[in-house]
A and B are shown apart, each in its own frame.
Chain A
Amino acid sequence: MVAPHNALRKPVSSGDQAESVMRVVAEKPIAVRRSFADRFADAGFRWLITLCALSVLAIVGFFVYELIVNSQPSLKEFGWHFFVGQDWDPVSGEFGALPFIYGTLVSSFLALLIAVPLSLGVAIYVTEMAPGWVRTPISFLMELLAAIPSVIYGLWAIFVLAPILRVYVGPALAKSLGWTGFFSGPVYGIGMLAAGVILSIMIVPIIASITRDVMAAIPQTQREAVLALGATRWEMVRIAVLRNARTGIIGAIILGLGRALGETMAVTMVIGNRPDITKSLFAPAYTMASVIANEFTEATGTLYASAIVEVGLALFLVTLIVNALAQMLVWMTTRGMPSRAHGQ
Chain B
Amino acid sequence: MGVGIEVRNLKAWYGNTEALHSVNMQMGANQVTALIGPSGCGKSTFVRCLNRMHETIPGTKVEGDVRIGSTDIYANGTPAVEVRRRVGMVFQKPNPFPTMSIYDNVAAGLKLNGFRNRHRLDEIVEKSLKQAALWDEVKDTLKKKSGASLSGGQQQRLCIARALAVEPEVLLMDEPASALDPISTGKIEELIDELKANYTIVIVTHNMQQAARVAGFTGFFLLGTLVEFDKTEKIFTNPSDKRTEDYITGRFG
Q: Is the CB of B109 within 8 A of A7?
A: no
Q: Which residues of A contact B113 (CB under 8 A)?
A: 230
Q: Is the CB of A231 within 8 A of B95?
A: no
Q: Which of B144-175 contact A (CB under 8 A)?
A: 144-146, 148-149, 159, 162-163, 166
Instruction: State how many angstroms separate the Cβ of B8 from the closest Cβ of chain A.
Output: 23
Q: Is the CB of A6 within 8 A of B236?
A: yes
Q: Which residues of A contact B95 (CB under 8 A)?
A: 219, 221-222, 224-225, 344
Task: Using known A-B contacts A6-B248, A224-B95, A336-B146, determine if residue A230 contacts B81 with beta carbons closer than 8 Å.
Answer: yes
Q: Is the CB of B84 within 8 A of A7?
A: no
Q: Which residues of A contact B7 (CB under 8 A)?
A: none
Cβ-neighbour of A224 out of B53, B100, B144, B211 (below 8 A) = B53
Cβ-neighbour of A229 out of B112, B149, B212, B248 (below 8 A) = B112
Instruction: State how many angstroms separate the Cβ of B199 from the closest Cβ of chain A.
Output: 15
| Interface membership of chain A positions 183-219, coded 1 if the CB is closer than 8 angstroms to chain B and 0 otherwise | 0000000000000000000000000000000000001
Instruction: State how many angstroms separate the Cβ of B147 from the closest Cβ of chain A.
Output: 9
Q: Is the CB of B209 within 8 A of A3?
A: yes
Q: Counting CB contacts under 8 A, is A302 at the interface?
A: no
Q: Counting CB contacts under 8 A, is A9 at the interface?
A: yes
Q: Is the CB of B236 within 8 A of A229?
A: no
The bracket for how many chain A residues form the interface is 35 or more
Q: Which residues of A contact B248 (CB under 8 A)?
A: 6-7
Q: Counting CB contacts under 8 A, is A30 at the interface?
A: no
Q: Counting CB contacts under 8 A, is B190 at the interface?
A: no
Task: Using known A-B contacts A229-B85, A229-B109, determine if residue A337 contacts B98 with beta carbons closer than 8 Å.
Answer: yes
Q: Is the CB of A7 within 8 A of B97?
A: no
Residue of A9, A10, A334 most packed against chain B (CB within 10 A): A10
Q: Is the CB of B212 within 8 A of A228?
A: no
Q: Counting CB contacts under 8 A, is A274 at the interface?
A: no
Cβ-neighbour of A132 out of B58, B88, B94, B145 (below 8 A) = B58
Q: Is the CB of B53 within 8 A of A243?
A: no
Q: Is the CB of B112 within 8 A of A230?
A: yes
Chain A residues touching B, majority SS? helix
Task: Output the nearest chain B residue to A3 by Cβ-Cβ distance.
Answer: B212
Q: Which residues of B contact A223 (CB under 8 A)?
A: 56
Cβ-neighbour of A222 out of B97, B144, B145, B146 (below 8 A) = B97
Q: Counting CB contacts under 8 A, is A301 at the interface?
A: no
Task: Using known A-B contacts A6-B236, A224-B53, A230-B84, determine if residue A1 contacts B213 with beta carbons closer than 8 Å.
Answer: yes
Q: Is the CB of A221 within 8 A of B93?
A: yes
Q: Counting CB contacts under 8 A, is B237 at the interface?
A: yes
Q: Counting CB contacts under 8 A, is A259 at the interface?
A: no
- In the complex, what distance in Å separates the CA atom of A244 from the CA atom of B147? 13
Q: Counting CB contacts under 8 A, is B194 at the interface?
A: no
Q: Is the CB of B88 within 8 A of A243?
A: no
Cβ-neighbour of B91 out of A221, A341, A342 (below 8 A) = A221
Instruction: State how many angstroms separate the Cβ of B163 from the closest Cβ of chain A.
Output: 8
How many pairs of A and B residues are in contact by the CB < 8 Å rule? 119
Q: Which residues of B contact A132 (CB under 8 A)?
A: 58
Q: Counting CB contacts under 8 A, is B108 at the interface?
A: yes
| Interface membership of chain A positions 302-344, coded 1 if the CB is closer than 8 angstroms to chain B and 0 otherwise | 0000000000000000000000000000000010111011101
Q: Is the CB of B112 within 8 A of A231?
A: yes
Q: Counting CB contacts under 8 A, is B45 at the interface?
A: no
Cβ-neighbour of B213 out of A3, A131, A240 (below 8 A) = A3
Q: Is the CB of A246 within 8 A of B81?
A: no
Task: Output the nearest chain A residue to B165 by Cβ-Cβ distance.
Answer: A229
Instruction: State how many angstroms separate the Cβ of A246 from the closest Cβ of chain B.
Output: 7
Q: Which residues of A contact B85 (CB under 8 A)?
A: 229-230
Q: Is the CB of A232 within 8 A of B81?
A: yes
Task: Output the nearest chain B residue to A334 by Cβ-Cβ distance.
Answer: B99
Q: Counting CB contacts under 8 A, is A4 at the interface?
A: yes
Cβ-neighbour of B88 out of A4, A228, A246 (below 8 A) = A228
Cβ-neighbour of A338 out of B93, B108, B148, B212 (below 8 A) = B148
Q: Counting CB contacts under 8 A, is B17 at the interface?
A: no
Q: Which of A1-44 contact B (CB under 8 A)?
A: 1, 3-4, 6-10
Task: Using known A-B contacts A6-B249, A132-B58, determine if residue A243 contacts B99 with beta carbons closer than 8 Å.
Answer: yes
Q: Counting CB contacts under 8 A, is B232 at the interface?
A: yes
Q: Is the CB of B249 within 8 A of A225?
A: no
Q: Is the CB of B56 within 8 A of A224?
A: yes
Task: Using known A-B contacts A336-B144, A336-B146, determine if residue A230 contacts B212 with beta carbons closer than 8 Å.
Answer: no
Q: Is the CB of B109 within 8 A of A230?
A: yes
Instruction: State how many angstroms separate the Cβ of B16 from the closest Cβ of chain A.
Output: 16
Q: Which of B190-249 contact A (CB under 8 A)?
A: 208-209, 211-213, 232-233, 236-237, 248-249
Q: Counting CB contacts under 8 A, is B250 at the interface?
A: yes
Q: Can you name 5 A-B residue pairings with CB atoms under 8 Å? A: A225-B91, A230-B81, A230-B113, A231-B81, A337-B100
Q: Which residues of A contact B (CB under 8 A)?
A: 1, 3-4, 6-10, 131-132, 219, 221-232, 235, 239-240, 243-244, 246, 334, 336-338, 340-342, 344
Q: Which residues of B contact A (CB under 8 A)?
A: 51, 53, 56, 58, 81-86, 88-89, 91, 93-101, 108-109, 112-113, 144-146, 148-149, 159, 162-163, 166, 208-209, 211-213, 232-233, 236-237, 248-250
